[in-house]
Amino acid sequence: MKTAPRIAVIDYGMGNLRSVTKAVEAAGGDVIVVTQPAELTGVSGVVLPGVGALADCVTALRATGMDEAVRTWIAADRPFLGVCLGLQALFDYSEEAQTAGLGIFPGKVVRFKLPAGLKVPHMGWNTVRFTQPDSPLVAGLMPEGEAFYFVHSYYCVSADPDLVLAECDYGLKFTAAIARGRCFATQFHPEKSQTKGIQIYRNFVSVAISA
């Protein structure tokens, strides 16, 4: 039997830590909640969750040095999973409060400008189509469409189309997930998406085991 990999969930003072932690544990990970870069020693995978304002997220990460720790971790192609704000923070810039992101991937985060009748935030279940069906993060899921739970007013526009792992429609087509090597991030909340969401976390834990 393989030993459960130690998965760090970053606590920067905001986010849905409890639900993410429980989901990673249900997926077979041995979770440690971390606040400082030194605590990543001996860890096999890192999860950056988030709800709320991106400016607060990035400011908090910079205050502890976790911003540079995340950059270094991803640059080394070590298993990483960003969730919601944890996706948006990876890009250069966000329209939300004119915020500079971590600049790990080229692109920006923009606010939904939708036709009449569609509300912002985009909230609830929506179908996600996987454009990289061979990605280890989506093993066991249907490439043509699975339902996941969203809560967001902004979405990511990647300067590199090859970065896009999944797409979703809400008045327009937007990026629902990205992947590059062992770095993954989702706009939807797997921890709120029942069995399909747990499958996402289970697949991430598998990547951490094999890394």
Alpha helices in 84-165 (DSSP H): 85-88
| 191 catalytic per annotation | yes
User: Which segments of 3-120 are extended strands (E)?
Assistant: 6-10, 30-34, 45-48, 80-83, 91-94, 99-100, 105-111
- Are the C-beta atoms of residues 44 and 211 closer than 8 Å to each other? yes
| 156 catalytic per annotation | no
Catalytic residue among 57, 152, 168, 189: 189
Catalytic residue among 122, 146, 168, 191: 191
Radius of gyration in angstroms for the set of CA atoms belonging to the chain, rounded to a whole number: 16
User: Could you count the other beta carbons within 10 Å of the beta carbon of residue 45?
Assistant: 24
| 84 catalytic per annotation | yes
Alpha helices in 42-133 (DSSP H): 54-64, 66-75, 85-88
Catalytic residue among 57, 84, 156, 183: 84
Angle between helices 17-26 and 194-210 (to 10 degrees): 70
Q: Decide: helix, strand or coil at residue 124.
A: strand
Cα angle 30, 36, 37; round to 5: 85
Q: Which residues are catalytic?
A: 84, 189, 191
